[in-house]
Structure 1
Amino acid sequence: MKQNELIQLLPGVFQRTMRSDSMLAGVLAAMEALHEPSEAVLANLDAYFDPYRAPNYFVPFLAYWVDLGWLVTIPDPERSPGSAVSPPFPSGIARLRNLIANAAHLSRWRGTAYGLCQFLEIATGLTGFTVDEHLHPFHLHIRAPHQSERYRVLIEQIIQSEKPAYVTYKVIFE
């Protein structure tokens, strides 16, 4: 709120005696300055709910809303038990934004070969993931493009989360 708007909220006696060099004017100026950050956020509130427009620091919070918090939090052994930190997403914030935007579609296909391939492709930005599920019962061979080996930890984390619980797997980088 601007100073002139704040004055309108004061009792009439304060409004009539208001001077620009008074202590009250200083207090109102400080109030105006304290309200500015909140008003800036409220003016663009809709951007916080869009993964493509949200500020970078807010994107991990959005990931929790769509049940992808496990991708952005790792345990921190240096801090108290149960505490966690948000490391940078291995393939970049843009990939995390894409995962959040596609979360509903991905959850529909969770536990399927198609869903796993889609998840891996969106998370890494690479294509060419395939799942062989008929070689051995209850075992998956996931073939990944050789460029994706730098994301090995991320890929294994995704597979662990998205595969059916009773299935084992092996990742082959080709």
Structure 2
Amino acid sequence: MDADRIALLLPEVYRRALVAGSPLDGILHVMAAQHAPVEGVLHRFPEVFDPYLTPDRFVTYLARWVDLLGWLEDEDGELATGNGRLRVLVAASAELARRRGTAAGLRTALTLALGVPGVEVDDLVPGPDDEPVPFLVRVTVPAEAAEHAELVERIVREEKPAHVVAEVVYLGGPPDGDG
């Protein structure tokens, strides 16, 4: 807010006494200078909540707001696949929350978190009699994401319904390379 706009907020008696170069004029200019940094922040305020524009140090804070804390490596807010992936997840958090507990939601969450295509979630896993096993889902993860097995396990644990058992299968063998 500049000095002229601040002057409009003053009582009429002060405005009539306002003369360029007077002590009152100086005070108004000092007030305007003191407001400038705060107004600059307020002008850029929407950027703070945009996960693609916010500073790196604030992405973790946004992730906590949208319930992604359990996906992070530690309290410092590191996602195993990087800050760029975390920004994508925060941006998609409303859609992820809407689809939480569904096969499509789990597939989307894993695909966005890992940054690799080809994640499959099968909620009709056939049993020995070729009938679907109730309350069982099979999550198939591409081999290139095997290095992030801990992240996959955390996301599956948090995103699947509580009454469902999930098995995670890595294409090309287990994540530790034993098969």
Residue 107 (structure 2) pairs with residue 110 (structure 1): no
The alignment covers a number of residue pairs equal to: 163
SS of 2:126 mapped into structure 1: strand
The corresponding residue for 1:143 is 140
Map Cα deviations across residues 103-123 of structure 1 (whole Å, 9 max, x no partner): 111112111111111100011
Structure-to-structure mapping, 1:76-87, within 5 angstroms? 85-87=75-77
Residue 60 (structure 2) pairs with residue 60 (structure 1): yes
Normalised by the length of structure 2, the TM-score is 0.69
- How far off is 1:132 after superposition? 2.1
**Equivalent of residue 169 in structure 1, options 145, 166, 172:** 166
Q: Say if 2:146 and 2:170, in contact at 8 Å, map to a contact too.
A: yes
The corresponding residue for 1:90 is 80
Map Cα deviations across residues 26-47 of structure 1 (whole Å, 9 max, x no partner): xxxxx99987764543231110
Map Cα deviations across residues 48-96 of structure 1 (whole Å, 9 max, x no partner): 011111111111111122222222363xxxxxxxxxx224211111111
Structure-to-structure mapping, 1:29-44, within 5 angstroms? 38-44=38-44
The corresponding residue for 1:28 is none
- How far off is 1:153 after superposition? 0.7
Q: Say if 2:81 and 2:113, in contact at 8 Å, map to a contact too.
A: yes
Whole-Å Cα distance in 2 between the matches of residues 36 and 162 of structure 1? 45
Normalised by the length of structure 1, the TM-score is 0.71
SS of 2:167 mapped into structure 1: strand
Map Cα deviations across residues 13-37 of structure 1 (whole Å, 9 max, x no partner): xxxxxxxxxxxxxxxxxx9998776
Whole-Å Cα distance in 2 between the matches of residues 38 and 90 of structure 1? 35
Identity %: 38
Q: Say if 2:110 and 2:155, in contact at 8 Å, map to a contact too.
A: yes
Structure-to-structure mapping, 1:117-136, within 5 angstroms? 117-133=107-123, 134-136=125-127
Change in CA separation of 1:172 and 1:104 when aligned onto 2, cut-off 3 Å:
same
Whole-Å Cα distance in 1 between the matches of residues 76 and 69 of structure 2? 9
Map Cα deviations across residues 96-148 of structure 1 (whole Å, 9 max, x no partner): 11111111111121111111111000111101011222235322221100000
* Stretches of structure 1 lacking an aligned partner (at least 5 in a row): 7-30, 75-84
